[in-house]
Amino acid sequence: MPHLTSLEDLSGDELADLLRAAEAFKKAPPGQLLDGRLVVSAFYEPSTRTRLSFEAAALRLGAKTLGFADQASTSAAKGESLEDSIRVLGGYGDAIVLRHPDTGAAKRAAEVSGVPILNAGDGRGEHPTQALLDVMTMTESLGTLEGKHVVLVGDLANGRTAHSLAPLLATLGAQVSQAPAAGLAMEGVPTMGLEEAARGADVLYMTRIQRERMAADADPLTLDPSWLGSKGPLIMHPLPRLAEIPRSIDTLPTAKYFEQAQNGVPTRMAVLAWALGELP
């Protein structure tokens, strides 16, 4: 069963195929590749981009979608286990796109599911399709990522996008550093200051403080436009953006976060086609 709970689920060839297909689907959408299929979106946590770009991808490939965007309207509110819900949903659709507040939820779901589980974010764990679209966006601007210096910024302890992106970048030959908000570093990645990163890196990957995943609040790191030279780094963010990026930066040609969000559709088209055995 082709689950995508982490990018570790993919072989090197599958990863390359997905990135290639995402770029191809962006240039020329493949039409009704998933005609007759039904994709279930099970979102136990808030989402704008991930849920709607998965659904847009499914609909644009001719699949139908059904699901929920608020766990309060499901039997989870009555105490049903994730495992029982997943067993049931797998009887209704051909793949399940799952977002859940518990770290490890996607792997738990994959253990009991009769249909592919696509992890759309599990707690502090992983967000593999976000990392794919992040890399697609970087590659479009930089070409190869081999030797490029990418600095992850913000709440890297709790941010699942960074947890999926850092190992993917390393696999692709990029040099990865972090500029964490105070007390919110990730393990195993060298640390530097945000100003130094803004003046020298190829990519700044900004992230917000994950307030819903911590007891006490923390201060965000904010990018100062005066640190960016005329050919500054690409500025990326999985969004939602809070105080990390002043809006004056939005008009710079290096500001890539809205393009990044758009790349969610072709990337998730590729992931759905792969999961349902229809990747060309």
Report, in Å, the least distance between residue 75 CB and ligand NCD. 23
239 binds ligand NCD per the rule CB under 6 A: yes
161 binds ligand NCD per the rule CB under 6 A: yes
Using only C-alpha atoms, the chain has a radius of gyration, in whole angstroms, of 18
Contact 134, 22 (CB under 8 A): no
User: What's the CA gap between 4 and 16, in Å, rounded?
Assistant: 15
* Among residues 108, 124, 208, 256, the one that binds ligand NCD under rule CB under 6 A: 208
Contact 270, 21 (CB under 8 A): yes
* Among residues 124, 160, 256, 268, the one that binds ligand NCD under rule CB under 6 A: 160
238 binds ligand NCD per the rule CB under 6 A: yes
Contact 231, 253 (CB under 8 A): no
Report, in Å, the least distance between residue 28 CB and ligand NCD. 25
Backbone angles phi, psi at 205, to 5 degrees: -110, 95
Report, in Å, the least distance between residue 130 CB and ligand NCD. 5
Nearer to ligand NCD, 3 or 127 (CB): 127
Instruction: Provide the H-helix boundaries in the chain.
Output: 12-27, 49-60, 82-89, 105-112, 128-142, 160-171, 194-200, 257-262, 264-275
130 binds ligand NCD per the rule CB under 6 A: yes
Nearer to ligand NCD, 37 or 51 (CB): 51
Report, in Å, the least distance between residue 129 CB and ligand NCD. 9
50 binds ligand NCD per the rule CB under 6 A: yes
Report, in Å, the least distance between residue 48 CB and ligand NCD. 8
121 binds ligand NCD per the rule CB under 6 A: yes
- Residue 269 to residues 190, 261, 263: CA-CA distances in angstroms? 34, 14, 10
Is the preceding omega at residue 240 within 30 degrees of 0, hence cis?
Answer: yes
* Closest chain position to ligand NCD (CB): 238
Report, in Å, the least distance between residue 238 CB and ligand NCD. 4
Contact 143, 169 (CB under 8 A): no
Q: Which amino acid is at 9?
A: D
Nearer to ligand NCD, 5 or 50 (CB): 50
* Among residues 37, 60, 108, 127, the one that binds ligand NCD under rule CB under 6 A: 127
Contact 159, 206 (CB under 8 A): no
Residue closest to 182 by CA, chosen among 195, 191, 173: 191
Report, in Å, the least distance between residue 91 CB and ligand NCD. 27
Residues 78-117 vs ligand NCD: string with x where CB under 6 A?
----------------------------------------
Q: Under rule CB under 6 A, how many of the chain's residues touch ligand NCD? A: 11
User: What's the CA gap between 128 and 161, in Å, rounded?
Assistant: 7
Nearer to ligand NCD, 130 or 267 (CB): 130
Q: How many residues does the chain have?
A: 280
Binding site for ligand NCD (CB under 6 A): 49-50, 121, 127, 130, 160-161, 207-208, 238-239
